[in-house]
A and B are shown apart, each in its own frame.
Chain A
Amino acid sequence: MNKARSNPLNTLAMHGALILYTLIALFPVFIILINSFKERRSIFREPLALPDSESFSTIGYETVMQQGDFFLYFQNSMIVTVASLFFILLFGSMAAYALSEYRFRGNMLMGLYLALGIMIPIRIGTVAILEMMVATGLVNSLWALILVYTAQGLPLAVFILSEFMRQVSDDLKNAGRIDGLSEYTIFFRLVLPLVRPAMATVAVFNMIPIWNDLWFPLILAPAEETKTLTLGSQVFIGQFVTDWNAVLSALSMAILPVLILYVIFSRQLIRGITSGAVK
C-alpha cells in the first residue's frame, strides 16, 4: 500500500483519475451555473460559453425573486430537510442501539421488520398516506412531509447504524455502567460520537433525495405557504414555454444549501474516522 502510494507514477495516475472524475461530476453543475447568468438567446446559441459582457444577464434571478415567494419555498425546504434528518438520525440511532445492545425476545424479527422498508418504496403507499394525512388534518403542513421523510429514511438508517453500533466496544459501555452512567448518557456521550461517520453517511444518503423530492410536496403540501423549493421551481416549467433563465437560476440557488450541508457532514465523516477510537 505504502509502496504503491509513494511511487510517483501511481500517484499521478491516481490523481489523474480523481481529477477526471471530479470534472465529469461537476460539469453539469458548472453548465447550470454559467447559463443561469446568461440571457435566454445565448443559453441556446452557445450553452458552453462563459457569460461575457454581451450575454451576461441576471434576468433569471430577478424573475425568480419576483415570481412567487422564493425565500419562503427555500425556508420550507430547509425546515423539512433538516427536521427530517434530525428525526431520522435520532430515532434511527436509538432503534439501532436497542437492536444491537439489548437482548430481548423478537430482537431479530424486529430488526428484519425495520429493515424491510429498504426494499419497499414508500411511494407505493402514497394513497394511504394521503388518506391518513387528510384524516389527521396534516395535509398542507410541513409536518406531513417531515413525517413521511422520516419514515422513508428510518429503515436504511437503522440498518446501517445498528451494524456500526455492534462494533462499538462492549468494554467501553460496560465501563460507563460501572461508573454509574445512565443508559441514555452511555448512548449519547459514548456511543453516538463513535458512530459519527456512520451518522454522516446516513445523513448524506437521505439529504439529497429529501431536498430534491417533488412527489410528496406535490401531493401532500401543494399550498402556496408550504411549497418546497423543487415544487416552487415548477412554475417556470410550463407545458408550452419554459422560462429557462428562471429554472437555471432557481436550480443554482437550490444547489447551495445542499452543498453547505454536505460539507458539514463530510467534515464530520472525516473527523470521525481520524479521531482515534478506544484502543
Chain B
Amino acid sequence: MTALSLKNVNKSFGKVHVLKDVNLDVEEGEFVVFVGPSGCGKSTLLRVIAGLEDATSGEVSIGDEVVNMTPPSKRGIAMVFQSYALYPHLNVRGNMTLALKQEGQPKSVIEERVQTASRMLNLEPYLDRYPSELSGGQRQRVAIGRAIVRKPELFLFDEPLSNLDAALRMNTRIEIANLHRQLGASMIYVTHDQTEAMTLADKIVVLRDGRVEQIGSPMELYNNPANQFVAGFLGSPSMNFFPARIIQDGDDRIMGVRPEDLFLADDGILSARVSHVEKLGGDTNVIAHLKDHQITARLFGQHAVEEGQDLRFGFNPQSAYHFDTYGARLY
C-alpha cells in the first residue's frame, strides 16, 4: 500500500505558479525528505498534502484514498512546524491532548497515549508547564509529542530543526531517526539542509522552483545526479564545477568534480592558487582559484597548505561528471 501518492499536483497563488506537476509515491513506513533551496515550494507542497492549501489541480491520495476534499483533521496526518506552533494557552499535556479530545477519544486512551509519548520524548517532568516556560528543544519535543499521540499514518515535518542550535539539532535529528524506527510510520520531512536530508532519508525528493528535479535514495542521488543542480545541492562541501575547456581546448561541456575526489599531485591537471584553508583536524578544506573559478578540495588528514600557495590538483577521470551547458547530465 502506498502511504501517499501525488499525481500531477499543481498549485498557483493567483498568477504565481508555485508547484508544477509534482508526482510522487511514498511507501508505507518510508522516510521521505523534500530538499531544495528556500522558496522552492517545499512548505507549500507539504501544506497541500496536509490539506491546509487546496491543490489547483491534480490528485492527492493518502493510504489509497483520494483526499482532495478531506479536511486536514480527517486525513490521518500530523504535522510538526518550524515555529513549534504550540498553543500558548495550554500546558504541555493540554497541547498533546487537544486533538484527541476533538476526536472524542475516551479518557483512558488519551491518558495512555500521553504517557507513552512523553516517556519516548523524556517530557514527563514538563507535562504541567506552559510553552513559555520551556526551552527551544523542549518545545520542539512537545510539538513532536503532539504529533505522536494522534497515531497518524503519515507524519509531516516542516524544517523542525532550523530554530535549534547546532548541537541540539544533531541530537534531535538522531531522536527523529529513532522515532521513525520505533513507530514505523511514514514520514515526510522538509529541509533546506542537505546534511539532514542525506542522514535521515530513505528517499530524497530534490525540488527546484516547484518542480521535482530528481527522486532517489541518498546514495543514488549522490553517485548519480540527474543534473548539475542536484549534483551541486547534495554533498558538502558542494561539487566543483568548471568549464571542460580548462583541461581540453574546444570542449564546451561543464565538468563536475566532488571536493573529496580531488587530491594533491605534482603532475595534477588543475593548477590553482590557494585563497583560503580550513583546517578541521581530520580533514583539510582547501579553497583555491582555478583561473576565475573557485574550487574546493577536501583533503583527508592534515596538510601544511598556506594561503597564496600555488598547488596542482589531480582527479580520477572516472570520478568526474559532465554536464551540457543547460546543466543536464551527459555522463
Contacts and interface: CB of A to CB of B under 8 A. Distances in A.
B309 interface: no
A279 interface: yes
Interface stretch (A27-35, A72-80, A142-150, A176-184): A176-184
For the complex of A and B, list the 3 residue pairs with the smallest distance between their C-beta atoms, beginning with the closest: A276-B132, A180-B73, A179-B99
A179 B89 CA distance: 15
A278 B83 contact: yes
A177 B54 CA distance: 14
A278 B102 contact: no
A92 B319 CA distance: 65
Interface string B3-43: 00000000000000000000000000000000000000000
Sorting the interface of chain A by its residue count into under 10, 10 to 19, 20 to 34 or 35 or more gives: 20 to 34
A279 B163 contact: yes
Interface string B161-185: 0010000000000000000000000
A176 B90 CA distance: 12
Contacts of B89: 189-190, 193
Interface string B274-295: 0000000000000000000000
B61 interface: no
A276 B88 contact: yes
B98 A276 contact: no
Sorting the interface of chain B by its residue count into under 10, 10 to 19, 20 to 34 or 35 or more gives: 20 to 34
Interface in B74-125: 74, 77-79, 81-89, 98-99, 102-103
A52 interface: no
Given A169-B83, A171-B83, A278-B83, A178 B73 contact: yes
A75 B270 CA distance: 90
5 contacts: A175-B86, A178-B79, A178-B99, A180-B73, A276-B132
Contact of B73 (A171, A172, A177, A277): A177
Contact of A178 (B78, B86, B132): B78
Interface of B: 47, 50, 52, 71-74, 77-79, 81-89, 98-99, 102-103, 131-132, 146, 150, 158, 163
Interface of A: 169, 171-172, 174-181, 189-190, 193-194, 275-279
Contacts of B87: 172, 175-176, 189-190
A174 B85 contact: yes
Given A181-B102, A275-B132, A279-B163, A175 B88 contact: no
B83 A279 contact: yes
A180 B102 contact: yes
B47 A193 contact: no
B98 A278 contact: no
A184 B78 CA distance: 21
A172 B85 contact: yes
Contact of A277 (B78, B88, B98): B88
Given A172-B85, A178-B77, A179-B98, 14 more contacts: A169-B83, A174-B85, A175-B85, A176-B87, A177-B71, A177-B72, A180-B73, A193-B89, A275-B88, A276-B131, A278-B83, A278-B86, A279-B83, A279-B163
